[in-house]
Structure 1
C-alpha cells in the first residue's frame, strides 16, 4: 500500500476532481471552487488519470526555493550575528545588519536562521531517565502537557521512539508514541537533514557540557537527585541563554474535554479473544472474567494497554475488562515450596526440572521496561553455568551387551 502525503489544499483539490470524474460536478464549477481556470483544471484531470493522487502533489515539495539565500550568504549572516548580536532579537539584529554591514535580510528570515543555528531557543522540559525508550518519553510528554498544554507539533530526530525506521507492509508504520500523539492531535516532525538534526542536538551538546559540571559541583549521583535539581537549573539556563520569540503568542492548546491524557499515553496492542474468553500476550495467558460486557467479545479484537507505571488494562471501546493472568513461563520458586508443605516434593522436582531447561524469552517486540514501574512480565532468571539443551521426542533405549541381553532373556523365562 502506497501512502501519499498531501496538504489540506491538495486533499480538497483531489476530492473536487474526483467529483468531476464521477460526473457529479462540471469542469466550470470545479474551476470556480478551486480558483483556477478551466484549462488548469483540465491539466490537473490529465495528471490525475495518468499518475493517480501522486500527480496532484506539488512538484516543488522537497526542493529548495528559487529565492533561497546561498549557503555562503547564510553562513556570513550567522557568523556576524554570533559575533556581534547574539543577545539581539531578529528585528533589531536585522536593522543593525543593514546599517553596519550593508546586508539586507528580513527579520522573519533572520529569525529562522537564528533558530537553525541554535541562537533562538528555550528549554521547556528536562528529565533524567535510565534509558531512552517509549515509556520514558510517554512520562516526559505527559508532564510537559500538564505543565504547558498540547503543542501543535514536536521536532525530533529519527529515533525509533518517534519514527518506524524498519517500516514494512505490516501495520500502519506508526510507533506507539506516535500513535499516542496522533490521538491527541500532535504532529511529529523528524529532522530530515544533518543541519536540521544539528538543531535538535545543539542544545543537548550545551547541556552535556554545562549540566554535567553543575551536577558534579552539587554532588548529584542519582537520577532522583538529578530530577530534583533540574527545574532550578533550567530556570537559570533560560535566564541566561533563552531569547524571547518573535511572535509572543503561545500556541499550546489546553486538553480538549474528550482528551484522556493518561489513557492515550500507553503501549497499545490488539489481540483476538478466543471462545474461552482468553487471549495471549507476551507469553502470558490472560483470562477475561465472564461478564455481560466480555461474553459477547469471543472472536473480536480488544486492546491490551500497558501503562508507564506498569499497570496493564484490557479495553474494548470505553470498557475496561476485568481479567486474571497465567504466566506461561513463570518459574517455581523456593517460597512456593515452603508455603505448600504437602506439595513440597512435587514442587521441588518441578523446580529442579525447570533449572535444567534453557530460559524461555518474552516476545522480541515487547517494550523496553527500564523506565517502567513494577510490572507483571519479569525477565527469566539467568542460569548458572552452560544451559542444557532440551532434546525433543522420546529418549533412546539403552544398548545392552550380549551378556546382559542373555541374562535378561533367562530372567524372563
Structure 2
C-alpha cells in the first residue's frame, strides 16, 4: 500500500476504535465527512485494509498497446528502419505502416526489448530562469564554496556568503577553513545588523540547515507533531524567516553565479592586497564586498523595502546558538558536556530541582539558560570532590594446621588403626 493509503487505514482504525470522530478523520485526510463515512463502510464490509487500496492496481490498462503491436515495432526497427531515432521512427511508422505511436511509446518499447539508440545523444539541461523578487529583503540566498582563494600562498578554505535576490547585494561573507554552522551564523548576523531581517532564506539541504530526522511517520503526522529543526533552523524560526531548502543548485542560481564571479575577481584582488593567511583575507573582505556591490548591485523593481527592523530587545548572539535541554540538579546546577555549571547571578525567580531547561551555547562559547525569553548566564563551577573510601584490610586466610596425634579428631582413626594392627599380628602368629 502507498503512504496515503496507509494513512487512510490508520485513520479509519482510530475512528472505529472510538479515538477519533468522522469529522476529525475527514480533516486529517483532507476529505469531506461523507467521503469519510464511505471509506469506513468499505473498510468494514469489504475486508479491512485491502479494501482501501486503489481498485485498478494490478489491472492492465485498457489503452495499453498489445504485444503484437510491440513485436511489430521491434521487428520493423531491426530490419526496415534500423538506425533511426525515436522521433524519426514514430514518423516512419505513421507514414508507411499506419501505426500512430508517440516517440515516448516507441522509445519505451525499444528499451523494454534491450534496444538502445544507435547514436546516444545527451540533451543539455535547460533551466528556466526565475524572476528576481520585486523588493529588497524578500529573499536571501546563502551558500558556501571551497576554493584556493589565496592560490599557492595558503591552503584552500571556504567562503560563506549570502546575496539578496532582488538587488544582487552581497549582504555578508566570511572565510572559514571548512563549511560550518558558525560561519553561516556570522554571515546572517552581518546582513541583519546592516540591512535588517529578510522575509525568506534560500539554502541547500545540508544538515546544517535541516535535521536528518525531518521526515515524520504517519503516526507523528496524525498526532500533530512538527518537523524537528537544526540549530540554524531554530534560529530562523525564532526570527520568523521562512527557510526554503533547494533540491538542485540551479534553484539558487543567483549565488551559484556569484561564486563564478568571486573565483574570477576575488582571487586577483586578494593577490594585489598580498593576503597570505585566512585572517588577512577576512580583514580585507568587507572592503572587497563594498567594491563588488558598487559594481554589480542593481535597483529593485519596487522601491519599498521588505526588510523587517530587528527588535532592539533581540540579541543575535543569543539567537544563533547551539540549543539543548538539561535538567537542573539540587543547588541550581546542571551538567553540560562534562562540565558543571551554575547561575552567574542570583535569579529573581525560583527554579525547582529536576526542572528541564533550555541550554544555549553562543558562538563565543558562553553558556546560558534560556527561560521565558530571558537569558540567564551560567558560570562553570568545580565538581564536588568526593573523598575516596578507605579500603578495609581483608583478613588473610588462616594457615592450615595439622592436628596432633592425641587430638580428639584422631581418636577414632587411631583406635581403628590399632585394631587393624592387632588383626595383622594375629594372622602372622597363626
By percentage of residues, which structure has more strand? 2
| Structure with greater proportional helix content | 1
Q: Report the TM-score, using the length of structure 1 for normalisation.
A: 0.48
Larger RCO: 1 or 2 (CA < 8 Å, sep 6+): 1
Max radius of gyration: which structure? 2
Q: Normalising by structure 2, what TM-score?
A: 0.47
